Amino acid sequence: MFGKWHLGDGDSHPLKRGFDEYYGFLGGAHPYQQIGNGRSAILRGNEPVEKIEYTTLDFGHEAAKFIDKNHDKPWFVYLPFNAVHTPMEAPQKYLDRFEKITDKRRRTFAAMLSAIGEVLGKLHENKLEENTLVVFFADNGGPTAANTSVNGPLNGFKASVWEGGVRVPFLMQWKGKLPAGKVEDRPVIQIDVQATALAAAGVAIKPEWKLDGVNLLPYLTGEKKGSPHDALFWRFGAQRAVRMGDWKLTDTGESTMLFNLAKDIGEKNDLASQEADKLKQLEAAYVEWNKGNIEPAWGKANRRAKKANPNQPKKKKKKNAA
C-alpha cells in the first residue's frame, strides 16, 4: 500500500491490517512537499522517511518499484493518492503545463492531477496490461469551495449524501478481458471492488463472508444482464440515502426527500409528498439494511456536511442553547 491511510494508527496501521509493504502517511490533509513528523510523518513501514520530492510522484514511484520487483508473480497494489485534496500544492514544472488557466487554484488543481500516471506506464513496460485489473475512482465529490471543483448539474459535494457527494468517476481496465471504451450507466459502488478483485484472482467468495459488494465482471462482459444492485445505501453521521432504480431517498439529517434521478439528476424537485408509497418502500429498505450495521462511532461528520453544503436546511437554535 502506498499513500494516504487515514484509518488510524496503532493496531489500525496498514502493516497490521494485511499489507506486506507500506509507504505513506497515516492521517489526512498532508502537505505534498514536506515529510512531516510524529504522527504526521511519511513512513516506510514504521520508520519516518528523511526526504521526499512530491507525494503524488513518490507514491506512484513506490508503487511502480513494487510492480517491477513483483512483475513475475501475482500481486495487489492499493494506491490512494492524497491528490487532489487540500492543501493545494504543485511543483512549478506541473504548473507550467497549464499556463493558459488564469484561475490560480484551478491551475494548481490541474497541475496536481497531471502528476498521476507512472503506474500505468509501468504495467505497459512489463507487458502486464492483459493480466492486470486496474480500478480507479475518487472517494467523494469535489469540495468546490476549496479547489474550484464543479459538480453541476449535481447538487451538493463532499461530506454530503446528495449526488454531488456520492457520485464520482469510476473507471476499470483489463485489456483483453473487459470491453474498451464502454460507458456503464448501471449504479455500482466502491465496495464492489473487493468482490470483483477476488473474482479476477480466481478466489471463490464464500457466503459466510457476507460481502456487501458484487462481482462486476460478468456485468461488464455482458454475461449478466440487469442491475448488479437492487439498492445502494449510504450513511454518514445523521445523513443517509437510498438509491433504488431511478428513485433516491436523500436525508440530510433534518429533512427526508424523494427524487426521481432519471428526470431530476440535480435533486431539485422533492416528490416525497406526491409519492408517499415509494418513499415508504425506500425507508423500509434502509431500515432492513441498517439492522446489520453498528451505531456510528463519530459525531462530527454531520456538522462538517452542514458546513460544506449550503443547500442543506439550517436547524433553528433553541433559546439558551450552548
Reported confidence tier of residue 39, pLDDT bands at 50, 70, 90: confident
Indicate the residue type of 135.
Answer: V
Digit-coded pLDDT (tens) for 96-146 = 999 999 999 999 999 999 999 899 999 999 999 999 999 999 999 999 888
**pLDDT value at residue 313:** 42
When the pLDDT of each residue in the chain is averaged and rounded to a whole number, the result is 92
Sign of the Cα torsion 36, 38, 41, 44 reads: positive
Digit-coded pLDDT (tens) for 231-262 = 999 999 889 999 999 999 999 999 999 999 99
User: pTM for this one?
Assistant: 0.89
Reported confidence tier of residue 307, pLDDT bands at 50, 70, 90: low
Higher pLDDT, 152 or 321: 152
For residue 192, pLDDT beyond 90: yes
For the domain made up of 1-132, the CATH class stated in words is: alpha beta
Q: How far apart are CA 231 and CA 285, in angstroms?
A: 8
The pLDDT of 51-77, averaged and rounded, is: 97
Neighbour tally for 201: CB within 10 Å: 10
Q: Which residues contact 287 (CB under 8 A, 6 or more apart)?
A: none
Reported confidence tier of residue 296, pLDDT bands at 50, 70, 90: confident
Give, in degrees to the nearest 5, the angle at Cα 191 between 128 and 302: 135
**pLDDT value at residue 315:** 44
For residue 318, pLDDT beyond 60: no
Higher pLDDT, 146 or 61: 61
For residue 268, pLDDT beyond 70: yes
Decide if 66 contacts 54 (C-beta within 8 A). Answer: no
Output phi, psi for 204, to 5 deg.
Answer: -75, 130
Domain segments of the chain: what residues? 1-132
Distance (Å) of CA 94 to CA 97, 128, 213: 5, 28, 37
**pLDDT value at residue 237:** 86
**pLDDT value at residue 300:** 53
Higher pLDDT, 321 or 121: 121
Output phi, psi for 277, to 5 deg.
Answer: -65, -40
Q: What percent of the chain has pLDDT over 70?
A: 92
The pLDDT of 83-88, averaged and rounded, is: 93
DSSP, residue by residue, 200-211: HTTPPPPGGG--
For residue 302, pLDDT beyond 80: no
Q: What percent of the chain has pLDDT over 90?
A: 85
